[in-house]
Amino acid sequence: MTGEPGVLRLTGRALLAEFTKLRSVRSSGLALLTLVALTMLLSLVAASLSTTTANDAKISVDQFHFVHQPLTGDGTVTAQVGAQRGTDPWAKAGLMFKDGTASGSAYAAIMVTPGHGVLLQADATTEVARPSATGPRWLRLTRTGQSVTGYESADGTTWNTVGTVTTAARPGTGQAGLFVASPPKLRMIGEIPNYEPVLGEATFKNVSLTPAGGGTAAGTWADTEVAPPPDGPETALGEGAPSAPVLAGGSTRKADGTVTVSGSGDIGRAGMGGINLTDVDRVKAGLTGIQFGLIGAIAIGALFMTAEFKTRGIRTTFLARPGRATVLTAKSIVLGTVVFVTGLAVTVPAYLITKPLQDDNGYRAPIYPESSITDPVVLRAIVGASLFLALIALFSLAVGTIVRRTAGAVIVLLAVLVIVPTIAGGTSDTAYAFIGRATPLAGISILQTVELTPVSDAVVTDAWSGFAVLCGYTVAALAAAFWLLKRRDA
Amino acid sequence: MPNLTIEARELVKRYGSTLAVDRLSFTVEAGRVTGFVGPNGAGKSTTMRMMLALDRPDGGEALIGGRPYTSYREPARTVGALLDPEAVHPGRRACDHLLWMAQYNGIPRKRVDEVLQIVGLESVGRKRVGGFSLGMRQRLGIAGALLGDPGILILDEPVNGLDPEGIQWIRGFLKQLAAEGRTVLVSSHLMSELQDTADHLIILGRGRLLADTTVKELLDQTSGDQIEVRTTERSRTIDALSLAGATVAVTGPETVTVTGLTTERVVSLLSAASIPFTGIGQHRASLEDVYMAMTREHTTFAAAPEDERALA
């Protein structure tokens, strides 16, 4: 007798055989059709019916400590931000032209943050980011009419242009100077979100204010706490925005010209400067249909094994290949691949079709950030949704192997993965949160593309840790399936 | 010359408190059809499942070609087996059913059409198995066993459900396979099915080996010199012959079987007593009689209606 084929060829043959099995029965096609149809249909329904007016509120934040003096006409302000306390990755210290000192008035500003580099902003509508420019920075802001150009430098000698922005601030009058802010911290008191103000601090050196004609500005520096009136119009910390009391800042000036400024608050608006009001993940919402599309994954996964036990075809299989582990391995690979590819065939179109629907229904930038299929995080969500379906199919295959009966396996799987979560979702937040953390459904976390506001109850786990829970369940169930399949009589 | 034997060594299988197979040992040789017989529940199917590693023995071992079945990575080229003709997915086409079996063993696709032709299913190869009769499923199962052109064939009740023409065909086919030097093990709960086919018999009763012998030996050892008498006056015949020292057994409404007297002596005794008889002659026990006598005390289940259907 000649030598027997190696492991790779044996597995290859098993893959081919199991693929023939899967494609040659109608139930596989029906299950995949269910997966595609339910995923697409429910994603479309959700995207069509869900609307929001969050963007219409034009929420902006304009609260900080301002050290300023009047500037008539055009001019340039320059300073070296020597040290900034790391109170928050989005704490801000920088230079500003502002149309007065009232919160909500027009402005142009360049600033440095501890965690996200340099930002150039105008009027809470425009932002140019330079995330790579980290660490102590020289900043410069030059005004020519309503056009403002920002520069940054590491040493005060070589300057890089960050960009040019247009502000509504009137030329001719206004204030110029230094500002510091640090966003409030969220602390949950029970279920109630509570924002506690944080005092940021930065030290400025080599401060200069040069009017366009040359020379030095003649004014004196003044301190102002720029903050919205306690119950004023919603120009600043408005509807749904993190609202915190003002924490008085101040400034101290040393003989060598060093100015230390402290202040609380933030500037920008949702989607700018790290201000996040997102309560819905657009990409995840656009693929929400997989929560019911997984019924198809359950069906094909469970039946791929239970049909063999029901017809006793499992004996024919083990006659053809006594290596039972190879059989289950081949089934897993074939099933996982088929469901994953079918998943992609529905998740990619579902994303592309629901996106314009969401735009029409108010889910758009700035509160709901623009997304693109080429964005790695979006791609992770789309591919992840298909992986999720594939893993649910594998989990179902394992449960089918353990339970052996179609009815038993499908009932258990539908109860755990569909029925109980649907009921819990409509009745108990605690139960729903548990399901999202500790059951195989936690894997849906892989669809998350944005960080939601901390108060949003939609956040359950971060993208990978929930997915890891599903992987854990699948591996454990498959391990039990392998063990039982090898042990039990066929 | 490859080893083509099937060997059972002290096989034991328990289901709860029931001992289904009890320290069973035998060897099946190549080049002949071996019948594996016993009443329903005698342990034939269980033994075959243990040979093919579907069931795990509680003791002993089974070797096929000198190796356990589990040691074959791609067994179809060595062993072909048909255990359960119903063990097919009804929604699958016959050709796809055979295709995946072939693919598991690296057998080329064209062999599927060949075996369909051999068993006479070429016209329904593309039909779904759900619409097949039992007989067609048997043929499909045999086709599956033949895929790898194996030297050893193990078939559990392959005659079940076949029409008379199919029975004729499979008998001839099994003999032909054995004549080609293959090992053929065929089980049945009916001796009559194997009478003209099997060269060798392994007889089971309640999980134990009752006989491991050739058909000829079995017949010779059990049928003594018996004389069969046909008469309308059965009771008078019994009286007359018993008086003369014979053992008389009733074998039919008008027949008795006589042991211990010569034919001449019976004729003269009956003539002397003026008992009319329509026939007298040497009685040869059928294989069925021998089998019935041997297994009567070992029958687990009473004859089920299925048996009669299979007989027809």
HSE (side-chain half, CA atoms, 13 Å) at A429: 6
User: Using an 8 Å Cβ cutoff, are A386 and A344 in contact?
Assistant: yes
Give the count of Cβ contacts less than 8 A between chain A and B. Answer: 101
- Give the integer Cα–Cα distance in Å for B259 and A373: 96
Q: Which ranges constitute the DSSP H helices of chain B?
A: 44-51, 94-104, 110-118, 134-146, 164-179, 191-194, 215-222, 234-243, 263-272, 287-295, 305-311
Mean pLDDT value of segment B71-84: 93
Mean pLDDT value of segment B150-160: 94
Write down the pLDDT at residue B206: 86
Write down the pLDDT at residue B101: 97
Pair type for strands B152-156 and B79-82: parallel
Could you write out the DSSP letters of every residue in B262-288?
-HHHHHHHHHHTT---SEEEEE---HH
Q: With an 8 Å Cβ cutoff, are A10 and B76 in contact? A: no
User: Using an 8 Å Cβ cutoff, are A55 and A362 in contact?
Assistant: yes
Helix (H, G, I), strand (E, B) or coil at A393: helix
Mean pLDDT value of segment B32-53: 93
Q: With an 8 Å Cβ cutoff, are A13 and B101 in contact? A: no
HSE (side-chain half, CA atoms, 13 Å) at A218: 2
Average pLDDT across chain A, whole number: 88
Distance of CA A192 to the CA centre of its chain: 23
Beta strands in A114-240, from DSSP E residues, in sequence order: 117-122, 126-130, 137-144, 147-153, 160-166, 175-181, 185-189, 192-196, 200-211, 222-226
Give A321's contacts in chain B (Cβ within 8 Å). 73-75, 104-105
Retrieve residue A168's tokens.
């509504």
Query: Degrees (nearest 5) of the Cα angle A302, A307, A313?
Result: 135
Give A2's contacts in chain B (Cβ within 8 Å). none
Q: With an 8 Å Cβ cutoff, are A10 and B54 in contact? A: no
Give me the torsion for CA of B230, B234, B240, B244, rounded to 10°. 60
Binned at pLDDT 50, 70 and 90, residue A215 comes out as low
CA distance A33 to chain B (A): 17
User: Using an 8 Å Cβ cutoff, are A407 and A306 in contact?
Assistant: no
pLDDT tens-digit series, residues A414-437: 999 999 998 988 888 888 888 888
Any idea where the domains of chain A sit in the sequence?
9-54+279-487, 60-269
Say which residues have a Cβ less than 8 Å from residue A358's Cβ, sequence separation at least 6: A47, A50, A282, A285, A286, A364, A368
Q: With an 8 Å Cβ cutoff, are A25 and B89 in contact? A: yes
Q: Is the pLDDT of residue B226 over 90?
A: no
pLDDT tens-digit series, residues B93-118: 999 999 999 999 999 999 999 999 99
Write down the pLDDT at residue A294: 96
pLDDT tens-digit series, residues A107-158: 999 999 999 999 999 988 889 999 888 878 999 999 998 899 999 999 999 9
Mean pLDDT value of segment A177-189: 86
Name all domains of chain B by residue range, CATH numbers in brackets: 6-213 (3.40.50.300), 224-283 (3.30.70.100)
User: Using an 8 Å Cβ cutoff, are A466 and A446 in contact?
Assistant: yes
pLDDT tens-digit series, residues A357-413: 999 998 988 788 888 999 999 999 999 999 999 999 999 999 999 999 999 999 999
Ranking A203-212, A365-374, A467-476, B51-60 by mean pLDDT, the lowest is A365-374
- Report the CATH architecture of A60-269: Sandwich (2.60)
Q: Is the pLDDT of residue A459 over 60?
A: no
Collect all residues from B whose CB is shorter than 8 A from any CB in A: 2, 49, 52-56, 69-70, 72-76, 81, 83-84, 86-93, 96-97, 99-101, 103-106, 144
Q: How high is the ipTM of this complex?
A: 0.81
- Give the integer Cα–Cα distance in Å for A31 and A154: 60
Chain A CA closest to residue B48: A319
Single-letter residue type at B270: L
- Give the integer Cα–Cα distance in Å for B254 and A35: 73
Average pLDDT across chain B, whole number: 87
Retrieve residue A371's tokens.
């997304």
Q: With an 8 Å Cβ cutoff, are A319 and B88 in contact? A: no
